[in-house]
Structure 1
Amino acid sequence: MKIRIKGDSIRFRLTQTEVQALSNNGKIYDSTNFGTTKFSYGVVLTSEAENLSIKHENNSIVLEMPEANGKSWFSNDIITFDHTIKTTSGNDLYLLLEKDFTCLDNTIEDQSDNYPNPKLS
Structure 2
Amino acid sequence: MKIRIRGNSVRLRLTKTEVDSLAKTGSFSEKIVFPNNTLVYTIIAKEAINTMEASYIENIITIYIPKKDSLEWPTNTIIGHKHSLKIDAANSLSILVEKDFVCMDETVEDQSDNYPNPKALT
TM-score bracket, normalised by the shorter chain, equals over 0.9
Match of 1:82 in 2: 82
Q: Structure 2 matches for 1:30-109, cutoff 5 A?
A: 30-88=30-88, 90-109=90-109
| CA displacement 1:38-89 (0-9 Å, x = unmatched) | 1000100001321011010100101000011111111111111000011146
Aligned partners of 2:95, 2:101: CA distance in 1, in Å? Answer: 18
Q: Distance in 1 between matches of 2:100 and 2:14?
A: 5
Compute the displacement of 1:90 (Å): 2.9
Instruction: Give the gaps of 5 or more residues in structure 2.
Output: none
Q: Secondary structure at the match of 1:94?
A: strand
TM-score, normalised to structure 1, is 0.96
Cα shift readout 1:61-120 (whole Å, capped 9, x = no counterpart) = 010000111111111111110000111463121100000001010111111100010111
Equivalent residues, number: 121
SS at match of 2:110: coil
Counterpart-to-counterpart distance in 2, 1:112 and 1:67:
27
Aligned-partner Cα distance in 2 for 1:28–1:40: 11
Question: Can you give the 5+ residue segments of structure 1 that lack an aligned partner in the other structure?
Answer: none
Tell me the distance in 2 between the aligned counterparts of 1:89 and 1:15: 35
Alignment identity in percent? 40
What's the TM-score once normalised by structure 2's chain length? 0.95
Q: Secondary structure at the match of 2:105?
A: coil
After the TM superposition, which segments of 4 or more aligned residues of structure 1 sit over 3 Å from their partners? none
**What is residue 16 of structure 2 aligned with on the other side?**
16
